[in-house]
Amino acid sequence: MYDVARIRQDFPILSQPHPSGKPLVFLDSAASSQKPSVVIDAMTNYYRTQHANVHRGIYALSEAATHAYEAARDKVKSFINAEQREEIIFTSNTTGSINLIVQTWGRQNLENGNVVVLTAMEHHANIVPWQILAAEKGFQIKYIPVTSDYLLDLEVFERILSEGNVKAVSVGHVSNVLGTINPVEHIIERAHAFGAIAIVDGAQSVPHLPVDVQALDVDFYAFSGHKMCGPTGIGILYGKRHLLEAMPPWQGGGDMIARVTLEGATWNDLPYKFEAGTPAIAEAIGLGAAVDYLQGIGMEAIHQHEAELGVYARERLAEVEGVQCYNPAPPYASGVATFTLEGVHPHDLAQILDYEGVAVRAGHHCAMPLHREVLCIHASVRASFYLYSTREEVDTLIACLQVARQRFL
Amino acid sequence: MYDVARIRQDFPILSQPHPSGKPLVFLDSAASSQKPSVVIDAMTNYYRTQHANVHRGIYALSEAATHAYEAARDKVKSFINAEQREEIIFTSNTTGSINLIVQTWGRQNLENGNVVVLTAMEHHANIVPWQILAAEKGFQIKYIPVTSDYLLDLEVFERILSEGNVKAVSVGHVSNVLGTINPVEHIIERAHAFGAIAIVDGAQSVPHLPVDVQALDVDFYAFSGHKMCGPTGIGILYGKRHLLEAMPPWQGGGDMIARVTLEGATWNDLPYKFEAGTPAIAEAIGLGAAVDYLQGIGMEAIHQHEAELGVYARERLAEVEGVQCYNPAPPYASGVATFTLEGVHPHDLAQILDYEGVAVRAGHHCAMPLHREVLCIHASVRASFYLYSTREEVDTLIACLQVARQRFL
Amino acid sequence: MDIYQENILDHHRNPRNWKLLDPYDFHASDENPLCGDTLEITLRVDENDRVVAVGWDGHGCAISQAAASMLGEEIIGKTLDEIKQLDKDVVLDLIGIPLSVSRVKCALLSLKVLKSAVYNLESQQ
Amino acid sequence: MDIYQENILDHHRNPRNWKLLDPYDFHASDENPLCGDTLEITLRVDENDRVVAVGWDGHGCAISQAAASMLGEEIIGKTLDEIKQLDKDVVLDLIGIPLSVSRVKCALLSLKVLKSAVYNLESQQ
Ligand SMILES: Cc1ncc(COP(=O)(O)O)c(C=O)c1O
Ligand SMILES: Cc1ncc(COP(=O)(O)O)c(C=O)c1O
What is the structure's pLDDT at D124? Answer: 37
Other beta carbons less than 10 A from residue A3's beta carbon: 9
Same-domain check for residues A69 and A137: yes
Q: A175 CB contacts (<8 Å, ≥6 apart)?
A: A121, A150, A182, A204, A367, A370
Q: Compute the nearest-CA separation of C75 from chain A (Å).
A: 26
Pairwise CA distance, residues A276 & B99, whole Å: 10
d(C-alpha A363, C-alpha A382), whole Å = 8
pLDDT digit string, tens, across residues D96-112? 988 988 889 899 999 99
Distances C8 to A105, A402, C11, C14, C92 between C-alpha atoms, Å:
53, 20, 5, 10, 12
Do B345 and D60 lie within an 8 Å CB cutoff? yes
Neighbours of chain A (3+ CB pairs under 8 A): B, C, D
* Sign, CA torsion B254/B260/B265/B267: negative
Q: What is the pLDDT of residue D123?
A: 40
Cβ B278 under 6 angstroms from ligand 2 = yes
Q: What is the pLDDT of residues B240-288, one digit of tens each?
A: 999 999 999 999 999 999 999 999 999 999 999 999 999 999 999 999 9
Question: In this model, does residue B202 exceed pLDDT 70?
Answer: yes
3-state secondary structure (DSSP) of residue C87: coil
How many angstroms does the Cα of residue D90 sit away from the middle of ligand 1?
Answer: 38
pLDDT (0 to 100) of residue B259:
92
Instruction: Tell me the three state secondary structure of residue A340.
Output: strand
**How confident is the prediction for chain B on average, in pLDDT?**
97
Distance from CA of A143 to the nearest CA of D (A): 46
Q: Round to whole Å and give the CA distance between D95 and D98.
A: 8
Tell me, yes or no, whether B36 lies in a domain.
no
Catalytic residue among A229, A325, A366, A376: A366
- Residue B94 Cβ inside 6 Å of ligand 1? The answer reads yes
> Best of A93, A94, A101, A287 to mutate for ligand 2, by most ligand atoms within 8 A of CB?
A94
For A24, which DSSP code?
P
- Are B100 and B200 within one domain? yes
| CA B34 and chain centroid, separation | 14
Q: What chain C residue is nearest to A376 in terms of C-alpha separation?
A: C36
Nearest-atom index, ligand 1, CA of B30: 16
pLDDT at C125: 35
Cα(B390)–Cα(B8) distance, integer angstroms = 10
Distance CA B273, CA B294 (A): 29
Of the candidates B119, B126, B115, which has an alpha carbon nearest to the alpha carbon of residue B93?
B126
A9 interfacial to chain B (CB closer than 8 Å): no
Domain boundary among B237, B264, B295: B295
Cα–Cα distance between A55 and D33 in angstroms, integer?
Answer: 14
Q: Phi-psi category of B233—alpha, beta or left, where left has phi over 0 and alpha has psi -120 to 50?
A: left
Measure CB to CB from residue B258 to each of C33, C100, C101 and give the nearest one.
C33
Please, is A73 exposed, middle or buried when counting C-beta atoms within 10 Å of its C-beta (0-12, 13-18, 19+)? Answer: buried
- Closest protein CA for atom 12 of ligand 1: B203
B223 CA → ligand 1 middle, Å: 8
Provide the domain count of chain A: 2
Nearest to A48 by CA among B41, B287, B233: B41
| A204 CB near ligand 2 (under 6 Å) | yes
> CB within 8 A of B295, min separation 6: which ones?
B79
For residues B228 and B71, give the distance between their C-alpha atoms in angstroms, rounded to a whole number: 18
Do B46 and B27 lie in one domain? The reply is no
Q: How many CB pairs under 8 A join B and C?
A: 18
Look at residues D11, D58, D61 and name the one whose alpha carbon lies nearest to residue B350.
D61
Distance B360 CA to ligand 1 centre (A): 16
The H or E element spanning position A284 is helix A281-297
B and A adjacent (3 or more CB pairs under 8 angstroms): yes
Residues in Cβ contact with B174 at an 8 Å cutoff, skipping those fewer than 6 apart? B180, B181, B182, B204, B205, B208, B209, B334
Please state the separation of Cα B196 from the chain's center in Å.
Answer: 23
Residue D12 domain boundaries: 2-124
CATH number for A71: 3.40.640.10
Domain holding B310, by residue range, is 4-31+298-408
In angstroms, the Cα distances linking A169 to A82, A156, A158, B66, B401 are: 20, 13, 12, 34, 59
- What is the β-pairing status of strands D37-45 and D51-59? antiparallel
- Tell me the C-alpha distance between D111 and A345, whole Å: 70
Residue B310 and residue B250 in one domain: no
Which residues from A are below 8 Å from B232, CB to CB?
Answer: 233, 278-283
Q: DSSP states of B212-280 as a string?
A: -HHHHT-SEEEEESTTTTS-SS-EEEEE-HHHHHHSPPSS-STTSEEEE-SS-EEEPPTTGGG--SS--
**Residue numbers of A between 125 and 154 with CB closer than 8 Å to B:** 125, 127-132, 135, 141, 143
Report the CATH number that the domain containing residue A339 is assigned in CATH. Answer: 3.90.1150.10
- ipTM confidence score: 0.95
The distance of Cα B126 from the centroid of its chain, to the nearest Å, equals 11
Tell how far the Cα of B145 is from the centroid of ligand 2, in angstroms: 45
Identify which of A257, A274, A250, D64 has the alpha carbon closest to the alpha carbon of residue B367. A257
Evaluate: CB of B179 within 6 angstroms of ligand 1: no
Instruction: Identify whether residues B130 and B56 lie together within a single domain.
Output: yes
pLDDT at residue D125 above 70? Answer: no
Query: Is D124's Cβ below 8 Å from some Cβ in A?
Result: no
Report the number of distinct structural domains present in chain C.
1
Q: Does residue B309 share a domain with residue B206?
A: no
Q: Rounded CA gap, B91 and B224, in Å?
A: 9
- In chain B, what residues touch A249 (CB-CB under 8 Å)? 132
Pair (A317, A288) in one structural domain: no
- Which residues of chain B make contact with C100, given a CB cutoff of 8 A? 58, 63
**Domain assignment of residue A310, yes or no:** yes
Q: How far C81 CA lies from chain B's nearest CA (Å)?
A: 29
A380 DSSP 8-state letter: E
Low-confidence residues of chain C, pLDDT below 70?
121-125
Please tell me which of the candidates D34, D36, D62 has its beta carbon nearest to residue B348: D62
| Cβ separation D101–A63 shorter than 8 A | yes
- Residue that terminates a domain, selected from B260, B278, B295: B295
Chain B residue with CA closest to C103: the answer is B58
pLDDT for residue B67: 95
D positions 4-33 inside 8 Å of A (CB): 33
Nearest CA in chain B to C102: B56
Is A283 in the same domain as A225?
Answer: yes
Alpha-carbon separation of residue B187 from A280, B94, B197 (angstroms): 32, 20, 10
Instruction: Considering every ligand atom shown, identify the ligand nearest to the alpha carbon of residue A94 and give its number.
Output: 2
**Is B114's C-beta closer than 6 angstroms to any atom of ligand 1?**
no
- Taking CA–CA distances from A56, the nearest residue in chain D reads D102
Does residue B15 sit in the same domain as residue B103?
A: no
Residue-level pLDDT at C122: 52
Which pLDDT tens digit goes with each residue over B381-395? 999 999 999 999 999
Q: How many CA atoms lie within 13 A of B356 on its CB side?
A: 19
- What is the average pLDDT across B38-60? 95
- Ligand 1: does its nearest atom lie under 6 Å from the Cβ of B203? yes
Select from B211, B227, B370, B382 the residue to mutate for testing ligand 1; criterion: most ligand atoms less than 8 Å from CB. Answer: B227
Domain annotation covers residue A185: yes
Assess B369–A contact: CB distance below 8 Å, yes or no: yes
Each residue's pLDDT tens digit in chain A (409 positions)? 899 999 999 999 999 888 888 999 999 999 999 999 999 999 999 999 999 999 878 899 999 999 999 999 999 999 999 999 999 999 999 999 999 999 999 999 999 999 999 999 999 999 999 999 999 999 999 999 999 999 999 999 999 999 999 999 999 999 999 999 999 999 999 999 999 999 999 999 999 999 999 999 999 999 999 999 999 999 999 999 999 999 999 999 999 999 999 999 999 999 999 999 999 999 999 999 999 999 999 999 999 999 999 999 999 999 999 999 999 999 999 999 999 999 999 999 999 999 999 999 999 999 999 999 999 999 999 999 999 999 999 999 999 999 999 988 8
One domain, residues B262 and B240 = yes
Q: Select from B35, B31, B293, B94 the least CA-distant residue to B301.
A: B293
Q: Among D3, D36, D62, select the one facing B379 at the smallest CB separation.
A: D36
Phi, psi for residue B259 in degrees, rounded to 5: -155, 140
Query: Which residue among B123, B127, B130 is best mutated to probe the pocket of ligand 1, counting the most ligand atoms within 8 A of its Cβ?
Result: B123
Task: Look up the CATH number of the domain holding residue D109.
Answer: 3.90.1010.10
Ligand lying nearest the CA atom of residue B334: 1
Residue B286 host element (H or E): helix B281-297
What's the pLDDT tens digit per position in B219-239? 999 999 999 999 999 999 999
| pTM over cut 0.90 | yes
The closest of B402, B393, B273 to B5, measured between CA atoms, is B393
Looking at the domain assignment, is residue A213 inside a domain?
yes
Reported as a pLDDT band with limits 50, 70 and 90, residue D79 is very high
| Closest by Cα among C96, C26, C28, C102 to C67 | C96
| CB-based burial label for A248 (10 Å; 0-12, 13-18, 19+) | middle
Q: In which band, very low, low, confident or very high, does the pLDDT at D33 lie, cut at 50, 70 and 90? A: confident
Of B275, B278, B281, best ligand 2 pocket probe by most atoms within 8 Å of the beta carbon = B278
Residue A91 CB less than 6 A away from ligand 2: no
Active site residue A366: yes
Quote the CA–CA distance of B26 and D84 in Å, as a whole number: 43
User: Which of A276, A295, A314 is the last residue before a domain boundary?
Assistant: A295
Touching check for C102 and chain B: CB below 8 Å? yes
Ligand 2 centre to CA of A125 (Å) is 6
pLDDT in tens, B139-198: 999 999 999 999 999 999 999 999 999 999 999 999 999 999 999 999 999 999 999 999
Task: Determine, for residues D34 and B363 on separate chains, whether the beta-carbon distance falls below 8 Å.
Answer: yes
Same domain, B230 and B313: no
Cβ distance A146 to A172 under 8 Å?
no
**A143 membership: H or E segment, kind and range:** strand A140-144
Cβ–Cβ below 8 Å for A379 and C106: no
Inside any domain, residue A36:
no
Nearest residue by C-alpha to atom 16 in ligand 2 = A176
- Report chain D residues whose CB lies below 8 A from the CB of B346: 61
A232 plus A96 within the same structural domain:
yes
The answer to whether B98 and B125 are in contact (CB under 8 A) is yes
